[in-house]
C-alpha cells in the first residue's frame, strides 16, 4: 500500500512564478522583488508600457491633444499604481528600475522561500507608500510624457 501511496499520493504542488512584467517563467530562487512604488517611479518602465502595441494608440492620441488618449493613460497609470502586492521581476527587466539590486534579489529569495508570502516594507499601492510629491511626479511623467520620443506628433 505504501508503494501505491507513493505512486498515486497527492504531491504538494510546486510553487512557480513568472515575471509580472515580461511574463517569462522564473527559476525557483531567481528574480528580484520590487514594490509598486519602485515600479511606478521608473521612467524607463513607463516609456515601455505606454508604447506597447496595446497602449500605443492612446499615446498617439494623447500627444495629438485628444483627451480620450490622456484619460486612458491616466487609467493605465492608476491600474499599475494601485497594485498592493510586491512584484517579482526577471533579470531581463531589472535594469529599467533604479533600485538596490542586491536588496531586491535578497527579498526575492525570501519571497521564494515563503512561496510568495513574503512582503517587503513599503509594499502597497504607490499612493500610500510614496510621498505625495513623488507620487505626483511619477504620475505626471507616466500620463503626460512617457513615450513622447516614439510618437510622431501631427502638426
Query: pLDDT tens, position by position, for the chain (155 residues)?
Result: 555 555 566 666 889 999 999 999 999 999 999 999 999 999 999 999 999 999 999 999 999 999 999 999 999 999 999 999 999 999 999 999 999 999 999 999 999 999 999 999 999 999 999 999 999 999 999 999 999 999 876 55
**Closest-CA residue to 70 (of 44, 86, 50):** 50
What's the confidence (pLDDT) of residue 23? 96
What's the confidence (pLDDT) of residue 14? 86
What's the confidence (pLDDT) of residue 13? 81
What's the confidence (pLDDT) of residue 61? 96
**Closest-CA residue to 72 (of 150, 143, 147):** 143
List for the chain the helix, strand, coil content (%; round to 5).
Answer: 50, 5, 45
The C-alpha atoms of residue 43 and residue 38 are separated, in whole angstroms, by 11
**Closest-CA residue to 70 (of 131, 149, 154, 147):** 147
Amino acid at each position: 500500500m505504501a508503494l501505491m501511496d507513493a505512486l498515486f499520493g497527492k504531491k504538494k504542488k510546486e510553487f512557480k512564478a513568472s515575471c509580472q512584467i515580461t511574463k517569462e517563467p522564473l527559476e525557483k530562487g531567481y528574480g528580484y522583488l520590487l514594490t509598486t512604488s519602485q515600479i511606478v517611479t521608473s521612467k524607463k518602465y513607463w516609456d515601455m508600457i505606454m508604447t506597447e502595441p496595446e497602449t500605443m494608440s492612446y499615446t498617439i492620441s494623447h500627444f495629438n491633444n485628444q483627451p480620450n488618449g490622456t484619460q486612458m493613460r491616466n487609467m493605465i497609470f492608476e491600474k499599475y499604481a494601485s497594485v498592493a502586492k510586491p512584484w517579482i521581476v526577471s533579470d531581463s527587466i531589472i535594469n529599467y528600475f533604479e533600485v538596490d539590486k542586491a536588496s531586491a534579489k535578497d527579498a526575492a529569495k525570501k519571497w521564494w522561500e515563503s512561496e510568495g508570502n513574503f512582503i517587503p516594507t513599503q509594499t502597497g499601492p504607490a499612493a500610500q507608500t510614496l510621498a505625495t510629491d513623488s507620487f505626483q511626479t511619477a504620475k505626471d511623467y507616466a500620463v503626460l510624457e512617457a513615450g513622447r520620443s516614439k510618437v510622431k506628433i501631427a502638426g
